[in-house]
Structure 1
Amino acid sequence: MVDTDRRVVVLGIARMADAVGNSFLIVVLPLYVASGAVTGGTFGLTEAFVSGLVLALFGFVSSVVQPIAGRLSDRAGKRKLFVIVGLAILALTDLAFSVAGSYVSLMLIRVIQGIAAALTITASIALVNELSASKSRGGNMGVYNALRLTGFGAGPLAAGVIVEGGPYQLSFGTNIQVSGFDAAFATAAFAALASILLVQVLVSDPEETMPTSDDVALAVRDQTGRHLLDPIFTLGLATLAMSTCIALLAPIQPTVNNRLGQGAILFSIQFAAFIGALAVTQPIVGTASDRLGRRLFIIAGLAFLVPTTLVQGIVVEPWQMIVARILQGVSGAMVFAPALALAGDLAKKGQSGAQLSVLTVAFGLGISFGQVISGFLIRYGFITPFAFGGALAVIGFVLVSTQVEEPTAESSVQTTGPAD
């Protein structure tokens, strides 16, 4: 972490606190709906389906808005402001859950949160990119993602403890009680406020970040004519394949537990094993990619992702699944941090907010797609979802191998980031 910018570490810690609060809702909202606190019509849908829709709205809206949010922060040239505004909206909407009494209000809050997350995500990743010299961009991306993922993994565990521990008696001799749900919502809001304080005090926009009115160079086809696909778009497709693979396990938890003869605790360990491996490995891989090149790690990670995904459909013992998930986490780290760094190397000056949103959107869409396709394909055999994921990784491997090159010294002059 020698070359890691202090502001990147602080931004990662701030996003870790925010991720803890936001991932609370993955556990809390379904329980909140099931508790009877939410009333009103369900539009003719089952309560379970509406609960899932409430959760999914966040990712869907965020994915749609991220390119717009990235472009707006490019035009403003003020990444820090967008991060803080997004976090402030998240804090307010976390508190709003306590007074939401209908499914419509829950959905509205999740839509607003999706917009807020888009502001924070795109501005944060652009800020990390612009705070990084090319020789340290991979390491910075790895550290930032590792800290954020640590918060995301810890949030659901803390949420369960807080909800089950309620209600809480307020001190100072009052008779006011706070339910476990309200305590969880307040904790999520507090985490977002803590993030705002950290960013406001310890993070600043680099001097090189200036407002831009240039047209955004987002493309599907390669503008140079050397390849068929644009390299940043291709990296987005590789990220989509990777995130689809890592999301296949969670939706089929009952089937996994039945097959392996295990309970919820072992499944949680298997889920956490992936996140832990991903978080630990990303800074190491990112720093190595600064010295050895990004493309090498992305291609190797996609190749390694094929067997580590496929084997999850073959294992018959809980410990085997744990090992497979750890190895898949290493594979994912080899793809994600170097891909973000390479996209940052390729991004045009003043456009990193919009251009890097291609990868952040792809990651979110891949998670959603993986969850849906896994639940659908499991009916055709336990191995089928994992075989599908392995096939996607093969496609990603071929695309990056044939459509992406490391930027030359001449082409990297236009990219963002401090001078080396």
Structure 2
Amino acid sequence: MRDLARRVIAQFVVDRRVLALAFARMADGVGNSFLIIVIPLYVTSDVVGGATFGLEEAMIIGIILSLFGFLNSSFQPFTGRWSDRLGKRKRFILIGLGGLTATNLAYLFAESYLSLVVIRGLQGVSVAFIVPTSIALVNELATTQDRGGNMGVYNTFRLLGFGAGPIAAGAVVNLGPYRLSGVTISGFDAAFSVAAITAALSYLLVTVLITDPEGTNANAGADLSIDIRDPSGRHLFDPIFTLGVASFFMAATIALLATIQPQVNARLEQGATWFGLQFAAFIIAQIALQTPIGRACDRYGRRPFIVVGMILLIPTTLAQGFVTSSEAMFFARLAQGIAGAMVFAPSLALAGDLAGEGESGSKLSVLTMAFGFGIAIGPLASGALVGYGFAVPFVFGTVLAVLGAILVTTQIEETLETASSPIAGDD
């Protein structure tokens, strides 16, 4: 048991600043994911009113939630590049966390649909300051030999926070109102306060425990352009661009389930609890496997995991369109989560290997931006396609997975020279 415990602990041994940043992102992840559950409830409550511009409440909820993703993803290349030029990762992370704290507090005073749209939009821009600069900082604090493990640890704790938030959010709202020192606080106000406190805690952790690597300043004026075509001429597409496209396909595929809960529940004759478990299965697999897969790709190479993960994404996506039981859907989502874990951390590590000093923000933002757009596009695609048949969205996702697998198989080469796997080399 002691040896097992030592091995588990060893998986999470990384640079102190990476671990601090991982805990910081876990804290703000709790608060941010809180809002995914709380905002729809808040919109449909008696607290919010005002002009709807002819839109139904369901459409307003969709706009509020989607706007965050689109603005977050759209601004990431700019904030990533800007942080490269200034060489100040920590400053950008703090700007984003400060904005997130302020906007979470702003919900306490929002009583109209328009104000919710504006606040959520500002939150999307705020998080755009955090995501690419955090990934860039992890990349710069790592070396080629431990980059995958660092990315895995960072993503594990970030996903822990993101997964824990929705579980607690509904309870916080439903158990309100609360009485504290003679003051009555509604369930909604308590939820928004929790989100603000977690963002502020994250701000404090970054302020006290994080410093910029010295090499970032020395290379702040490096060439930050992103190529679509492979400049070496060995392949058709640039490897980082290829990883971005594959990340977009993967994210869109895993997000297909998000908007078709009624159709899934009707087909499988199940309730909301089963759907919640099925939706969470992907995150469960990610949390369990990100760190060990990240460590493994430091030893065996990045490319084998990315290729196998994209190939595994094909049957696990297609299966969801044809399963006939709740248990089968759960295991299909769990297997899809395994596929995603095999792609995500190794892709970031491979892109980090290719990024020169002072280029991490702009280079890695290609992947984070693409993933964000995929998460936003996937639910829209499934909502539009499910009317043609339950399996159609998943067949569409399978086609994307096939294209992604072809791209990474033909356009990506190994970057880890010491990889010991026989399939880790170049094509």
Selected match of 2:65 from 37, 51, 55: 55
The residue number in structure 2 matching 1:351 is 359
Q: CA deviation at 1:13?
A: 1.1
| Alpha-carbon distance between aligned partners in 1 of 2:415 and 2:117, rounded to the nearest angstrom | 43
> Is residue 371 of structure 2 the alignment partner of residue 363 of structure 1?
yes
Partner of 2:202: 195
C-alpha displacement at 1:36, in angstroms?
2.3
| Corresponding residue SS for 1:36 | coil
1:231 aligns with 239
- Given that 2:250 and 2:374 are in contact with CA atoms closer than 8 Å, whether structure 1 keeps it comes out as yes
Describe the superposition over 1:83-141 as per-residue Cα deviations: whole angstroms up to 9, x where unpaired: 11111110110010111122221111112111110001111000000010011001111
Rounded to whole Å, the distance in 1 between the matches of 2:12 and 2:332 is 31
% of aligned pairs identical? 57
Residue 214 of structure 1 and its aligned partner are, at CA, apart by: 3.0
| Equivalent position SS for 1:169 | strand
Amino acid of the structure 2 residue aligned with 1:282: Q
Counterpart check, 1:207 vs 2:214: yes
1:34 corresponding residue in structure 2: 44
- Distance in 1 (CA, whole Å) between partners of 2:258 and 2:338 is 18
Query: Take 1:396 and 1:269, find their aligned partners in 2: how far apart are those partners?
Result: 27
Q: Given residue 211 of structure 2, which amino acid in structure 1 is its aligned partner?
A: S
2:115 matched to 1:108?
no
Give 1:206 shift.
1.6
Deviation at 1:289, TM superposition (A): 0.5
Q: Amino acid of the residue matched to residue 230 of structure 1?
A: D
CA distance, structure 2, for counterparts of residue 160 and residue 95 of structure 1: 19
Q: Match of 1:311?
A: 319
2:81 to 67, 71, 81: 71
Mapping 1:163-178, distance limit 5 Å: 163-171=173-181, 174=182, 176-178=183-185
Aligned counterpart for 1:339 among listed residues 344, 347, 350: 347
In the alignment, residue 236 of structure 2 is paired with which amino acid?
L
Distance in 1 separating the partners of 2:254 and 2:415: 29
**TM superposition score normalised by structure 1:** 0.94
Q: What's the offset of the Cα at 1:215?
A: 3.4
Give the aligned length: 406
Alignment partner of 1:137 is 2:147: yes
Distance 1:2 1:60 in 2: 32
**Conserved in 1, the CA contact under 8 Å of 2:301 and 2:416?**
no
Kept after mapping to 1: 8 A contact 2:96/2:130:
yes
Tell me the SS of whatever aligns to 1:249: helix
CA distance in 2, matches of 1:55, 1:250: 12
Alpha-carbon contact 1:85-1:116 (below 8 Å) kept: yes
Equivalent in 5, 9, 16 of residue 19 of structure 2: 9
Q: What secondary structure does 1:208 align onto? A: helix
Tell me the amino acid that sits aligned with residue 36 of structure 1.
D
1:236-274 deviation per Cα after TM superposition (whole angstroms, max 9, x unaligned): 011111111110112100111111111011111111111
Residues 1:23 and 2:30 are matched in the alignment: no
Match among 268, 277, 289 for residue 276 of structure 2: 268
- Distance apart, 1:3 and its partner CA: 5.1
Deviation at 1:50, TM superposition (A): 1.2
Amino acid at match of 1:124: S
Task: Give me the CA root mean square deviation.
Answer: 1.2
1:176-225 CA distances to partner (integer Å, 9 max, x unpaired)?
A: 21110000000000000111111122222122221512331211111111
Q: CA deviation at 1:407?
A: 3.1
The counterpart of 1:184, out of the listed 181, 191, 199, is 191
Query: How big is the shift at 1:39?
Result: 1.6
Partner Cα distance (1:105, 1:367) in 2: 24
Give the deviation of 1:2 after TM superposition: 5.9
For 2:348 and 2:203, locate their aligned partners in 1 and report how far apart those are by CA, in whole Å.
Answer: 24
| 1:83 lines up with 2:68 in the alignment | no
Displacement after TM superposition at 1:394 (Å): 0.8
How far 1:286 moved relative to its partner? 0.8
Contact 1:3–1:136 (8 Å) recurs in 2: no
What SS class does the counterpart of residue 177 from structure 1 fall into?
Answer: strand
Deviates more, 1:6-15 or 1:113-122: 6-15
Give the match for residue 425 of structure 2: none
Give, in angstroms, the shift of residue 8 of structure 1.
1.2
Structure 1, unmatched stretches of 5+, are 410-420
1:329 match: 337
Residue 251 of structure 1 pairs with residue 226 of structure 2: no
Is the Cα–Cα contact under 8 Å of residues 12 and 291 in structure 2 kept in the other structure? Answer: no
Ranges in structure 2 where 5+ consecutive residues have no aligned partner = 1-10, 418-427
CA 2–93 in structure 1, closer or farther in 2 if over 3 Å, else same: closer
Runs (4 or more) in structure 1 with deviation over 6 Å come to none
* 2:380 aligned residue (332, 347, 372): 372
* 2 and 296 in structure 1: CA distance in 2 versus 1, 3 angstrom threshold: same
Q: Can you list the C-alpha shifts for 1:12-70, whole angstroms capped at 9, x where unaligned? A: 11101101100111111111110022221112211210121011111111111101100
Distance 2:409 2:281 in 1: 29
